[in-house]
C-alpha cells in the first residue's frame, strides 16, 4: 500500500506523460498524426484534432495495484517466484493497457462517426477487464497448479 501511495502521489505525472508519449509514438507508427504534451495525447480524427488526457484511471495504475495485492497476498509462494510474477505481470498489464489505449484511439481515427466514449466504455473497459483477468489467472496457474512448492510433511 505504501508503494501505491508513493506511485499515485509522486510518480503519476511522469508515468502518465510516458504513457502518453508511447501512445502518440505508436499512433504515428500506424500512420495517425498525433502528438503528446504532458499527459495529453492529441490525434487526428478526419481533418480535425481530438485530445485525450491520460489519467491514473486509464494508465493501468489501478490494475497494477490490484495485481500487486493478488500476487503479494497469495500464501505459500516464495519471494523469488513473487518477484518474477510481479515483474512479468506488470509488463503484461502495461503492454496490454498500451495496446488498449492505442486501439481505442486508432479505431476512433478510422471510424470517426463512432464516439470515443462509446469505444472506450463498450470496447476498452471489457477488454481491460478480460486482459487483467487473463494475467491474474496466468499467475495463479503458474503459482498454484503448474509449479507448486508444497512441502511434504510425511518425509520427516
pTM score, whole prediction? 0.82
Count of beta carbons in the 10 Å neighbourhood of residue 136: 17
List the chain pLDDT tens, one digit each, 156 residues.
676 667 666 677 788 899 999 999 999 999 999 999 999 999 999 889 999 999 877 878 788 888 888 888 888 888 888 888 899 999 999 999 999 999 999 999 999 888 888 888 888 888 888 998 899 888 888 887 876 655 555 555
State the pLDDT at residue 149: 59
Q: Is the residue at 152 inside a domain? A: no
Residues in the chain, overall count: 156
Q: Is the residue at 154 inside a domain? A: no
Q: Is the residue at 37 inside a domain? A: yes
Alpha-carbon gap, residue 22 to 64, rounded angstroms: 18
Q: Is the residue at 21 inside a domain? A: yes
Q: Is the residue at 77 inside a domain? A: yes
In which domain, by residue range, is 14 found?
2-147
Specify the number of domains making up the chain.
1
Q: Is the residue at 74 inside a domain? A: yes
SS3 55: coil
Q: Is the residue at 9 inside a domain? A: yes
State the pLDDT at residue 78: 86
Q: Is the residue at 127 inside a domain? A: yes
State the pLDDT at residue 109: 94
Alpha-carbon gap, residue 24 to 36, rounded angstroms: 6
Alpha-carbon gap, residue 146 to 118, rounded angstroms: 39
State the pLDDT at residue 150: 52
Amino acid at each position: 500500500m505504501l508503494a501505491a501511495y508513493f506511485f499515485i502521489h509522486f510518480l503519476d505525472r511522469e508515468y502518465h506523460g510516458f504513457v502518453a508519449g508511447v501512445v502518440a509514438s505508436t499512433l504515428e507508427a500506424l500512420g495517425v498524426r498525433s502528438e503528446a504534451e504532458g499527459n495529453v495525447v492529441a490525434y487526428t480524427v478526419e481533418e480535425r484534432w481530438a485530445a485525450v488526457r491520460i489519467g491514473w484511471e486509464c494508465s493501468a495504475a489501478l490494475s497494477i495495484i490490484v495485481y500487486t495485492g493478488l500476487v503479494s497476498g497469495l500464501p505459500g509462494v516464495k519471494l523469488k517466484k513473487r518477484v518474477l510474477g510481479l515483474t512479468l505481470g506488470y509488463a503484461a498489464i502495461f503492454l496490454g493497457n498500451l495496446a488498449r489505449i492505442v486501439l481505442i484511439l486508432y479505431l476512433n481515427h478510422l471510424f470517426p462517426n463512432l464516439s470515443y466514449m462509446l469505444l472506450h466504455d463498450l470496447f476498452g473497459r471489457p477488454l481491460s477487464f478480460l486482459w487483467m483477468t487473463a494475467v491474474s489467472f496466468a499467475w495463479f496457474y503458474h503459482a498454484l497448479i503448474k509449479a507448486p512448492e508444497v512441502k511434504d510433511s510425511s518425509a520427516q
